[in-house]
């Protein structure tokens, strides 16, 4: 693949990435949910976190997370805006301590998409539409990401993470992806 960037995404530089291990096959898509501060949407805080510029004095919660070096490949805002922080060919730091079907270190072989949202607040239609569009584009570039290899953060880090949460409508997402997604989902 020539470019690891989706043409429809607004690019924002992010220092929190590195090279994937040699020979790593990208075959997993991890869907996340994020809101900063928790339960609040909009504002510059997610971008500030991913760029290591989060002001710990701007909100009490930020004191806990300001020093973390994290990222995702993509973020989908509430209005459906797609932002790309990390080249899809590179390793973003989104899953943390994680495993999928016995394979540890999911960041090595996955792509991470953050949805601006919270576990118990419904996601927006524009987000599902953009998520399906971005997923299809990713699957063209990384065909090993089959429907059963699209999971939530909670699936790769159970007990530690709960996102994208109970409010995420997997059925809606699979319908937007098409029949193969509905039939192939695990």
Q: DSSP readout, 52-84?
A: T---TTSSTTHHHHTT-----SEEE-TT--EEE
Indicate whether 4 belongs to any domain: no
Model confidence pLDDT, tens digit, residues 7-49: 999 999 999 999 999 999 999 999 999 999 999 999 999 999 9
Indicate whether 53 belongs to any domain: yes
- What 3-state DSSP class applies to 104? strand
* Distance from C-alpha of 120 to C-alpha of 43, rounded to nearest angstrom: 20
Indicate whether 115 belongs to any domain: yes
When pLDDT is cut at 50, 70 and 90, the band that residue 3 belongs to is confident
pTM for the full model? 0.95
Range of the domain at 99: 10-184
Catalytic (active-site) positions:
114
- What 3-state DSSP class applies to 183? helix
Indicate whether 86 belongs to any domain: yes
When pLDDT is cut at 50, 70 and 90, the band that residue 185 belongs to is very low
Average pLDDT, integer, range 133-143? 97
Model confidence pLDDT, tens digit, residues 62-100: 999 999 999 999 999 999 999 999 999 999 999 999 999
Residue 100 CB partners (closer than 8 Å, separation 6+): 28, 106, 110, 149, 151, 155, 156
**Over 80: is that where the pLDDT of 181 sits?**
no
- What 3-state DSSP class applies to 160? coil
Indicate whether 22 belongs to any domain: yes
The domain that holds 56 is classified in CATH as: 3.40.80.10
């Amino acid at each position: 693949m020539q470019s690891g960037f989706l043409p429809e995404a607004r690019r924002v530089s992010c220092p929190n990435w590195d090279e994937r291990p040699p020979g790593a096959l990208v075959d997993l898509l991890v869907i996340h949910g994020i809101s900063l501060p928790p339960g609040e949407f909009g504002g510059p805080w997610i971008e500030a976190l991913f760029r290591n510029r989060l002001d710990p004095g701007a909100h009490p919660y930020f004191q806990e997370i300001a020093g973390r070096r994290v990222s995702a490949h993509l973020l989908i805002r509430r209005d459906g805006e797609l932002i790309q922080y990390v080249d899809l060919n590179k390793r973003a730091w989104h899953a943390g301590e994680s495993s999928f079907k016995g394979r540890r270190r999911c960041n090595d072989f996955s792509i991470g998409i953050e949805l601006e949202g919270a576990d118990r607040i419904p996601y927006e239609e524009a987000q599902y539409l953009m998520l399906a569009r971005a997923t299809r584009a990713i699957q063209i570039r990384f065909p090993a990401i089959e429907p059963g290899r699209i999971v939530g953060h909670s699936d790769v880090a159970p007990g530690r993470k709960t996102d994208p949460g109970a409010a995420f409508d997997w059925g809606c997402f699979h319908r937007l992806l098409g029949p193969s997604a509905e039939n192939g989902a695990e």
